[in-house]
Structure 1
């Protein structure tokens, strides 16, 4: 056998083994769950809403804004990730459990209310915000002062939402339910006088009302029709739960939580509840 050929073959084998080792250490990136166990990932993938002003919004220039975005960025920082390490992924309401179960995201902060049905599939850290179902009306409309005043009024929510149905069946059976494809359409209808009131979580309504083009045009009813405990969704059994809860506790303790509320909801006159106690769901 030619010694030169043997040496070349050995060198090639060594190169292949080094390449494989390098790929094994970098190509198979650890997830944030791995980080919780002590390893370090290069990025973290977080699910948020892309279409809820004040909560989670992807702007035309590609930035991400809103209360959930601020909270998620703070939590990621406590987990060891800078803002540039975050990969944002849209988490539509119907897709949230699937995204977590498949491991497409490390955690989700997307106006994600904790409830028994969801807890059968995923775990939650938090809650980090106590919201309530409410209504939004025009600022100059003083005809709606209590839920019963919605009778014979045009009440808007998105198609398939339970919010408007709750009002119609429990509080104002004569309300004229209007279902649109998105809350932005409801808000436009409210601004133009086609709609009398919009209903969903007060935090979402406050986010819309806080937008520059709507400042001073709308007001919240303050009805508190339900309790919505916003939590951070994680894969069932994930070790991230404890770490995220500690991050949320720190965010409340150092005053950052209050700053985020004022920044994202303040212009709407949103009378928020105090920061919830982490781990305690208000029913």
Structure 2
């Protein structure tokens, strides 16, 4: 009889475990089960780590910049607190891969919307309209327009649309050097290894405004292209696209967008365009 009782107890325990599993098994990343009230664990967001004013990881390990503020606001609207955000470096050439491989939930990394990129990823937004410009040394008066780059050394980052725009349309004889990050280009500019750095004026303004760079560089003041920054996400994820668009609209409406612009770009006297209309996904 003792053996029978033990067997019955084991059977009851197994049945109870099976019932619990069927009613409310765990879900990936702490997502809510059938009750819907379990909290999400974290969200991984791709940003730039080397763009002052836009996306920067400081030596202390903090993250600052306009894109960081936008990403944090959007994450909040998706249900994530700041401490649940994991920022992952998204260099220009790897943004599509990070999204496609599921390494990030979305990318907020001075990511200009264009048709070629939209073949691989979807976008929400846009959330900022920037213009391509040139950064040169403060004492250089030889470059006042894009055509002046012919026969000169131009630097940008691998995967950037800015350098190709100059090389193919504006200064085909420019000697183009592509680096892994803008910091390398800036070092080359300071050391006279290159004559100009090209990318969006928002990014250039952030570099020029850094305390260590004040007086060293200047913006030429051109508008070589329109760059609509969007938030990149996995192709076909319409639900996430809709939620992010709603978050961006709310950020503009409640004044948080304007505050972020002033906090991050104001020191460089950057003249921003008004918040653009949301066009992706509509």
Q: Under TM normalisation by the shorter chain, which class is it? A: 0.7 to 0.9
Q: Deviations over 1:177-199 (max 9, x none)?
A: 44444321221222234433211
Distance 2:224 2:31 in 1: 42
Q: Is the 8 A contact 2:133 2:219 kept in 1?
A: yes
Report 1:153-168 matches (<5 A): 153-159=152-158, 161-168=160-167
Q: Deviations over 1:36-67 (max 9, x none)?
A: x9985232221212232222222222221211
Structure 2 length normalisation: TM-score? Answer: 0.84
Report 1:257-276 matches (<5 A): 257-276=257-276
Give aligned pairs, total: 277
Report 1:1-283 matches (<5 A): 2-14=3-15, 16-17=17-18, 20=21, 24-26=25-27, 29-30=30-31, 41-159=40-158, 161-238=160-237, 239-279=239-279
Distance 2:6 2:18 in 1: 18
Structure 1 length normalisation: TM-score? Answer: 0.84
Structure 1: 5+ residue stretches without partners: none
Distance 1:71 1:234 in 2: 15
Q: Is the 8 A contact 2:93 2:159 kept in 1?
A: no
Distance 2:115 2:265 in 1: 28
Q: CA deviation at 1:27?
A: 5.2
Structure 1 residues 95 and 29, CA, compared in 2 at 3 Å: closer, same or farther?
Answer: farther
Root-mean-square deviation over aligned CA pairs: 2.9
